[in-house]
Amino acid sequence: MILYPAIDIRDGRAVRLIKGDYGRETRYDDDPVDAARRWTGDGADFLHVVDLDGARAGRPVNLESIRRIAEAVEAPVEVGGGLRSDDAVRELIEAGAARAVIGTAALMDPAFLDRVIAEHGPGSVVVSVDARGGDVSLAGWTESSGVDVADAVTDLTRRGVERFLYTPIEVDGTMEGPNLPELQRVAAATEAEVIASGGIGELRHLEDLAEAAPPNVEGVIVGRALYERRFTVQEAIRVLAGRDRADGGDG
Q: Give the active site residues.
A: 8, 130
Residue 58: count other Cβ atoms within 10 Å of its Cβ: 17
Degrees, nearest 5: CA angle 104-40-11: 45
Are the C-beta atoms of 195 and 166 separated by less than 8 Å? Answer: yes
Say if residue 34 is exposed, middle or buried (CB neighbours under 10 Å; 0-12, 13-18, 19+): middle
Query: Which of 245, 127, 142, 135 lies closest to 193 in space, CA to CA?
Result: 127
CA gap 168, 220 in Å, rounded: 13
User: Which residues, 6 or more positions from 239, have their beta carbon under 8 angstroms from its beta carbon?
Assistant: 203, 206, 207, 210
Are the C-beta atoms of 244 and 1 separated by less than 8 Å? Answer: yes
CA gap 86, 40 in Å, rounded: 30
